[in-house]
A and B are shown apart, each in its own frame.
Chain A
């Protein structure tokens, strides 16, 4: 037996699970495997085996931890309020320092440098068109060759643009920006300093890198204007800066962060009506985990969208779609099984298109042939359909 290893998981947090199992059906990996090691309760037992009972950090342990999507669907389901996300982040941080070779370590560094990410994206866009990369297997969307530059229109609110979404889906930002402007406010855009929120690094256990990105992002979004975020994963990360950095400045910053739908729902009376030539569509809303389970503000998406489209809910209790940031690329088999459940729920809903407020989910679902767009792209089209 190896020497006792601390995973750095808070002992009170680790003791807080009573093993009741109510989390199990809310865990996407348990749902598709039926296996305890792939459930929140099993993962907590595994952490206890290592941290409290001196079990080895072996392949079985790594498989249990790395198979977690970190969707945090178990947290709202837990009557005991076990902070599973925080325990998993601590575990991943201690594992990251033990892994000898980890492509994520340098891979995620690219995200923090906008010029480098743009360069990599252009190269990817070209080789994609030459059919030199298996995009679907890698979970990549079709990356645009050229993108229009976004221009600021005022300083009432910030629109956080992020990394991959800005490099690959800037047209979504443009649509979101038009909708926000239609409520009568001017939108400010951050510079390259707010190039990445650091969520993917944090989930991979690269805490120091995540912290550096957080400090840089805070510096690029100064003042007191609300910070609107149109990516659920980034929004969740920005809202947790206060918790992770623990400074009063970070707490104040996090309080300014709003999911863009959350903000729009509060200004609903300022939103314009549907355009004259708009034909109504039926939209199934897919709740991104980090909007539903972490930020817990998924309702405003349906509230805003239902003014412009017929909204149908999915009947799968908001179970994850399997995208999980880089998860779909790291665990393609599990991600595909999880997505299969989601596709069945989408089919049952009978909707024409799916709306998802997170770029990862959009890419992952679109790769399975579903028509997916950002909820505010649908709103943008509905408002401006008389152009």
Chain B
């Protein structure tokens, strides 16, 4: 579809926004057709860059008048295809709404605009000795609006909880064009927790235009440990032992040998490239408690044959975390494409599921790397491939499906933090009954009766009429 100057939708959008902030050049619409997931082939309609709640309302109004769906987009770092525009919707990009509106350091609350970058918020708060606890690996670039959309996690969410635990209220523009505040920045509101329903709704209930975030005091002391093991089993057992002994570290992250080697080449942090697995454990709190907990964790690792290293200073800590947080990108040193999964399994079954993952990839003649939040059993197996290789995609998808099935079989769930988006949409019936899906669809329609907010995501097509044969509903070209 081409948008000419006389296109009525474009004309209406240009009444709301200055013309340099509504665009429809074919190239821009293609570029906006994808996010950080493997989905290609989405295509945006008009691309809008509002700077205020009123402008977002105006964009939504214009889209509604023309029967066009609306897809919100932040930094475009989502891994489940949540921001991929299907059927040329109006794309509302929030990157220009990136201001820190207010900080109340005493009440530990800040109002932020949705386009603010996660790490920018914590940096702005540093003078107050506060930070925003959820720290996705992409925190240097991902937007807080996107964090709300996916209910994002991060290494330090083990002790502190994921995004939902740090969002007190959200201002939302519904598809009716109405703006409303869900939740209460000063505490709990009586009645239904609409804020809780909204956080993690992946853009399917409305567009976030402001967020009241809970601020966390910086810990007085932090120690970061690097534990290296000769086997994945020993690493997984150590993780279980730490939690079973009543220690809840700020973060427990595991990387397997393949990813250790890729990351070490990029950061040179001294990760042992011959270890079968390394575990990064961070403990924080008061200095005395931190020292004791660190000692106990190290004892548990040594007892299981692990070698231990304690980061000597902030610089070494930062380097270890840089290695962990750049893992996803670093794999391109091996293959140009990856398909990253996000299932969660019971911690006690970690080693078993990981071994099953290795078997699955071998069966499908693929390569895999594992880097994940071991403390809460959130696996991130990454399948590596080159999409230019003929016949590779069916193998990648078959292996992905097998990994999901293996995770669910031991009592796991589909997604820990990346969201369902397009990626897991068609696996939803594996986990939820028809009645579950119907309830979810009805909750969504309570906010968005016409299903115009980010359609085609999360819920299998026809979730409420038991027609869950959705694989062939994915637009052509999307599965690269």
B-binding residues in A (CB < 8 A): 15-22, 24-25, 34-37, 41-42, 45-46, 49, 53, 55-56, 58-61, 64, 78-82
A20 to B333, CA, bound (A): 13
Q: Chain B residues near A21 (CB, 8 Å)?
A: 35-36, 75-77, 138, 141-142
Contact of A80 with B330 in the complex, beta carbons under 8 Å: yes
A141 to B100, CA, bound (A): 36
Contact of A19 with B141 in the complex, beta carbons under 8 Å: no
Contact of A80 with B333 in the complex, beta carbons under 8 Å: yes
Q: Chain B residues near A35 (CB, 8 Å)?
A: 49, 93, 95
Contact of A79 with B30 in the complex, beta carbons under 8 Å: no
Q: Chain A residues near B180 (CB, 8 Å)?
A: none
Within 8 A of A (CB), among B387-437: 388
Contact of B332 with A45 in the complex, beta carbons under 8 Å: no
A56 to B330, CA, bound (A): 32
Q: Chain B residues near A24 (CB, 8 Å)?
A: 75, 141
A143 to B93, CA, bound (A): 44
- Contact of B27 (CB < 8 Å), options: A18, A25, A34, A46: A46
Contact of A34 with B96 in the complex, beta carbons under 8 Å: yes
The 0/1 profile, CB within 8 Å of A marked 1, for residues 367-388 of chain B is 0000000000000000000101
Of chain B, the residue at the smallest CB distance from A21 is: B77
Contact of B336 with A18 in the complex, beta carbons under 8 Å: yes
- Contact of B28 (CB < 8 Å), options: A20, A37, A79: A37
Contact flag A42-B31 (CB < 8 Å), given A22-B140, A24-B75? yes
Contact of B96 with A79 in the complex, beta carbons under 8 Å: no
Contact flag A58-B333 (CB < 8 Å), given A15-B386, A21-B138, A79-B326? no
Contact of A20 with B77 in the complex, beta carbons under 8 Å: yes
Q: Chain A residues near B254 (CB, 8 Å)?
A: none
Q: Chain A residues near B93 (CB, 8 Å)?
A: 34-36
Q: Chain B residues near A17 (CB, 8 Å)?
A: 332, 336
A16 to B331, CA, bound (A): 10
Q: Chain A residues near B101 (CB, 8 Å)?
A: none
Please name 6 pairs of A and B residues whose Cβ atoms are closer than 8 Å in the assembled complex, sorted by A.
A18-B329, A22-B140, A25-B140, A36-B76, A37-B28, A59-B25
A-B pairs, top 6 by smallest CB distance, nearest first, are A79-B329, A34-B95, A80-B332, A79-B326, A60-B25, A79-B330
- Judged by a CB distance under 8 angstroms, whether B34 is at the interface is yes
The 0/1 profile, CB within 8 Å of A marked 1, for residues 129-141 of chain B is 0000000001011
A207 to B195, CA, bound (A): 57
- Judged by a CB distance under 8 angstroms, whether B270 is at the interface is no
Contact flag A22-B266 (CB < 8 Å), given A15-B336, A35-B49? no
Of chain A, the residue at the smallest CB distance from B265 is: A81
A-binding residues in B (CB < 8 A): 25-28, 30-32, 34-36, 49, 75-77, 93, 95-96, 98, 115, 117, 119, 138, 140-142, 263, 266, 326-333, 336-338, 386, 388
A80 to B384, CA, bound (A): 13
Q: Chain A residues near B32 (CB, 8 Å)?
A: 36
Contact of B31 with A46 in the complex, beta carbons under 8 Å: yes
Q: Chain A residues near B95 (CB, 8 Å)?
A: 34-35
- Contact of A58 (CB < 8 Å), options: B27, B49, B331: B27
Contact of B386 with A34 in the complex, beta carbons under 8 Å: no
Scoring A17, A35, A64 by chain B CB atoms within 10 A of each residue's CB, the highest score goes to A35
Tell me, rounded to whole Å, the shortest Cβ–Cβ distance linking B84 to chain A: 12
Tell me, rounded to whole Å, the shortest Cβ–Cβ distance linking B260 to chain A: 14
Q: A22-B140, A79-B329 are in contact. List 8 more A-B contacts (CB 8 A).
A: A15-B388, A21-B76, A21-B141, A60-B27, A78-B329, A79-B263, A80-B331, A81-B333
A132 to B126, CA, bound (A): 49
Q: Chain B residues near A34 (CB, 8 Å)?
A: 49, 93, 95-96, 98, 115
Contact of A18 with B76 in the complex, beta carbons under 8 Å: no
Contact of B141 with A22 in the complex, beta carbons under 8 Å: yes
Contact of A18 with B49 in the complex, beta carbons under 8 Å: no
Contact of B338 with A18 in the complex, beta carbons under 8 Å: yes
Tell me, rounded to whole Å, the shortest Cβ–Cβ distance linking B456 to chain A: 20
Of chain B, the residue at the smallest CB distance from A45 is: B31
Tell me, rounded to whole Å, the shortest Cβ–Cβ distance linking B443 to chain A: 30
Contact of A49 with B31 in the complex, beta carbons under 8 Å: yes
Q: Chain A residues near B327 (CB, 8 Å)?
A: 79
- Contact of A25 (CB < 8 Å), options: B76, B141, B329, B388: B141
Tell me, rounded to whole Å, the shortest Cβ–Cβ distance linking B233 to chain A: 28
Contact of B336 with A22 in the complex, beta carbons under 8 Å: no
A35 to B96, CA, bound (A): 8
Contact of A80 with B30 in the complex, beta carbons under 8 Å: no
A16 to B326, CA, bound (A): 15
Tell me, rounded to whole Å, the shortest Cβ–Cβ distance linking B18 to chain A: 14
Contact of B36 with A19 in the complex, beta carbons under 8 Å: yes
Q: Chain B residues near A36 (CB, 8 Å)?
A: 28, 31-32, 76, 93
Q: Chain B residues near A37 (CB, 8 Å)?
A: 27-28, 31
Of chain A, the residue at the smallest CB distance from B98 is: A34
Of chain B, the residue at the smallest CB distance from A76 is: B266
Of chain A, the residue at the smallest CB distance from B386 is: A15
A19 to B33, CA, bound (A): 12
Contact of A80 with B329 in the complex, beta carbons under 8 Å: yes
- Contact of B34 (CB < 8 Å), options: A45, A56, A80: A45
Contact of B141 with A58 in the complex, beta carbons under 8 Å: no
A375 to B140, CA, bound (A): 30
Contact of B331 with A18 in the complex, beta carbons under 8 Å: yes
Tell me, rounded to whole Å, the shortest Cβ–Cβ distance linking A119 to chain B: 41
Q: Chain B residues near A82 (CB, 8 Å)?
A: 332
A35 to B49, CA, bound (A): 9
Q: Chain B residues near A79 (CB, 8 Å)?
A: 263, 266, 326-330, 332
A297 to B470, CA, bound (A): 54
Contact of A58 with B25 in the complex, beta carbons under 8 Å: yes
A59 to B28, CA, bound (A): 11
Q: Chain A residues near B28 (CB, 8 Å)?
A: 36-37, 60
A17 to B142, CA, bound (A): 18
Of chain A, the residue at the smallest CB distance from B142 is: A21
Contact flag A81-B34 (CB < 8 Å), given A22-B326, A25-B141? no
Contact flag A64-B141 (CB < 8 Å), given A16-B336, A34-B98, A82-B332? no
A42 to B34, CA, bound (A): 10
Tell me, rounded to whole Å, the shortest Cβ–Cβ distance linking B129 to chain A: 17
Q: Chain A residues near B328 (CB, 8 Å)?
A: 18, 20, 79
Contact of B30 with A45 in the complex, beta carbons under 8 Å: yes
Contact of B329 with A22 in the complex, beta carbons under 8 Å: yes
Of chain A, the residue at the smallest CB distance from B37 is: A19
Tell me, rounded to whole Å, the shortest Cβ–Cβ distance linking B28 to chain A: 6
Q: Chain B residues near A41 (CB, 8 Å)?
A: 76
Scoring A22, A25, A37 by chain B CB atoms within 10 A of each residue's CB, the highest score goes to A22
Q: Chain B residues near A61 (CB, 8 Å)?
A: 27
A253 to B474, CA, bound (A): 56
Contact of A49 with B36 in the complex, beta carbons under 8 Å: no
Q: Chain B residues near A64 (CB, 8 Å)?
A: 27
Q: Chain A residues near B336 (CB, 8 Å)?
A: 15-18
Of chain B, the residue at the smallest CB distance from A50 is: B27
- Contact of B266 (CB < 8 Å), options: A18, A58, A81: A81
Q: Chain A residues near B337 (CB, 8 Å)?
A: 18
A19 to B84, CA, bound (A): 13
Q: Chain A residues near B263 (CB, 8 Å)?
A: 79
Contact of B332 with A81 in the complex, beta carbons under 8 Å: yes
